[in-house]
Structure 1
């Protein structure tokens, strides 16, 4: 079992000593993010994650979502390539094999899967397809229903050596742990990282499989709003895309997510701001660390 370190508090000073890569050249040097998710009733999750990835510095954005919403989403996010995927009768993205999805996954630098998905069986099949098509060095962000799918097949990432980050909330952590999380979220994040061989970001408690741990202490109640987790997952994907390694991306994303919320407090108060309002704060938060 890895020797767990005491968690380091994530501060601006810690991040300044751990600077993000600054890509040079065109958009290709900042990488391609593919977000796989959404449904007929939750197309906004993919939008939030995708725009967050661009705001964090990704060069190219691709969205793969339920075919009934793809056209509308392409208008809402004109910066992205949007591809429709087969869907079930109730509008969930179907697990049926898609050659086009294989192509997108194979050429992406980062794949974020989960935002807006809502059928666990279809998601499990979809996750397997993504993992089969992804290169061994393709970075992965698993969020929402993709985490439920992983809890059904916990060996999918074990010993694969894939750069992966899991972003559970407490409900998803319960599925991944197979029990209710305790009060010590540092320890719970550490257990999940060891079990699933991935970096884990659990409400600002970040753990690596080798036992290193960090804690972000700036988050406030306002972040507990619909769509906020989608923004965090996309932010993480964007940082990975520009060259950050998984623990660095997770720490920077947790801090940026929290401080972007703080920046909205003077306008909206501690609660009441919307997840989409976090998006415009991301670049300035990153720039002022």
Structure 2
């Protein structure tokens, strides 16, 4: 019966999986085809030419943009994990359902609002004369303001995978460790943290990939002084620089796949070890 259900599940998943793979492969090939040309027309076929790649890879501004994008991704991910992990334990410790619901709604609420509205709201808070302008007024149109807004936007994506891992952790394990004489710090480092690491890595992976592809928040709160890859790609498309935009899109895609591979490797290394 179990084998039959497994086959049925695979059969139901097959059409959607095939569609996603086909869409990904076709779009990736289309990006590569646009990147290996020099003419500025949006035609599907054009002479093969690596001049755009040579010019782009030798462009210091492109590498500066890549560095800014990766720096934002790393910083926002670390901050979201540092905030989301203890917050998940706090939510687990709540006993009354209304408290849990209120806390989850408060954390989830940024996703319910348009990213443009959220970014504009942060601009109003950080502007001179705004509620936070006196303390954080220098952050507007600079990297700290962009990071602050991105943490607000991406925190739910880090929090909920961590919360799922924390809630799945049996309370008896910590109690058993305490009965064996382990102190609170040792119980955390040797029992709780290793068992919740998969959720932590899932949240970090999701946060990082969403952050390095963010467009609206850096564009609105960066004020033209902060540029990430998504903005640079959009600017090239506006100017009909299709080959250069495709090169940057391929770079962003490779960075995303590399990050996914690294997180997958870390997850396997940090996972429970099987007996030989």
TM-score (norm 2): 0.21
Choose 1 or 2 for highest CA Rg: 2
Q: Tell which has more relative contact order, 1 or 2 (C-alpha 8 A, sep 6+).
A: 2
Greater percentage in strand: 1
TM-score (norm 1): 0.21
Greater percentage in helix: 2
